[in-house]
């Protein structure tokens, strides 16, 4: 089981050494005076059935979309760059945006599985880690996304929440009291990533498989967005978490 937070930022400034993998993987970076295209977040919210299957819930998903949109608007100034929302897309342009949202999620999951988690590292990623290299991309086609021509980087956000159903929670209790098998109830995964719109290279990634905050509520969505953007390159300190002087 890997650590709760995995953060990595590259190609923006001189990198600092990795800290202990038990805590995180992080590099410092500075990002100033750039235009960041904020793409529509990919959001999936539903229930986790007794058997562990995901059951989509349209009402919860729409609540999460609204709450996360407000939370993102509230933190844009703290990112200390010009942040512009991607224009509304229709037809082929909308399909392209959705495809890249799904591709970003798949690449992020691969980063966690094959570079961050030592037990699963591919041979090439073992070499990358030893050489202090982070080489992942969604491909140069990202330059065709709506609004990409007028920006330097794209900020992708992926959020997946499966809230444990009553049956799942009961199964969890029974499994612990009987055969003492650990069964999880609820899955809360989030990825936030910064992509170079000219090359498609993934420059910064914050991946968390145990996120906090109930995105179905405004306060919970605020907490979720703060966690997703924790360590964003060049961002101003979060006043809610900055140490008092």
pLDDT digits (tens, 9 = 90+) for 65-120: 999 999 999 998 888 789 999 999 999 999 999 999 999 999 999 998 888 877 77
Picking from 243, 216, 239, 244, the residue whose alpha carbon sits closest to that of residue 226 is 239
- The beta strand positions in the chain, using DSSP E, are 6-9, 35-38, 42-48, 54-56, 82-85, 153-164, 187-196, 202-208
- Tokens 């989509």: give the residue: 56
Instruction: Give 117-132 pLDDT, tens digit per residue.
Output: 777 788 888 788 777 7
Encoding tokens for residue 207? 């991946």
pLDDT of residue 18: 31
Burial of 160-184, coded b for 16+ CB within 10 Å and e otherwise, reads bbbbbbeebbebbeeeeeeeeeeee
- Band (pLDDT 50/70/90 cuts) for residue 1 is very low
Q: Could you tell me the pTM of the whole model? A: 0.81
pLDDT of residue 137: 95
CA-to-CA dists, residue 136 to 51, 186, 193, angstroms: 34, 29, 11
pLDDT of residue 89: 92
Report which DSSP code applies to 213: S
**Beta bridge partner(s), residue 37:** 84, 154
pLDDT of residue 239: 64
CA-to-CA dists, residue 47 to 15, 27, 43, 54, 234, angstroms: 40, 35, 14, 6, 36
Instruction: Give 168-222 pLDDT, tens digit per residue.
Output: 677 667 777 777 676 666 789 999 999 999 999 999 999 988 899 999 999 999 9
């Amino acid at each position: 089981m890997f650590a709760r937070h995995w953060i990595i930022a590259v190609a923006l400034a001189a990198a600092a050494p990795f800290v202990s993998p038990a805590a995180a993987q992080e590099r410092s970076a500075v990002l100033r005076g750039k235009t960041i295209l904020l793409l529509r977040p990919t959001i999936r919210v539903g229930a986790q059935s007794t058997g562990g299957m995901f059951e989509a819930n349209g009402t919860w998903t729409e609540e999460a979309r609204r709450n996360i949109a407000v939370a993102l608007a509230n933190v844009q100034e703290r990112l200390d760059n010009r942040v512009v929302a991607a224009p509304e897309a229709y037809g082929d342009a909308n399909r392209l945006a959705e495809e890249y949202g799904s591709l970003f999620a798949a690449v992020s999951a691969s980063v966690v599985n094959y570079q961050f988690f030592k037990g699963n590292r591919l041979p090439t990623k073992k070499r990358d880690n030893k050489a202090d290299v982070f080489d992942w991309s969604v491909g140069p086609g990202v330059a065709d996304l709506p609004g990409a021509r007028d920006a330097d980087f794209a900020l992708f956000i992926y959020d997946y929440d499966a809230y444990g159903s009553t049956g799942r929670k009961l199964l969890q209790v029974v499994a612990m009291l009987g055969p003492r098998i650990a069964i999880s109830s609820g899955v809360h995964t989030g990825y936030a990533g910064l992509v170079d719109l000219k090359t498609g290279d993934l420059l910064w990634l914050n991946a968390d498989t145990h996120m906090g905050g109930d995105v179905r509520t405004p306060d919970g969505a605020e907490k979720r967005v703060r966690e997703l953007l924790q360590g964003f390159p060049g961002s101003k300190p979060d006043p809610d978490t900055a140490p008092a002087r």
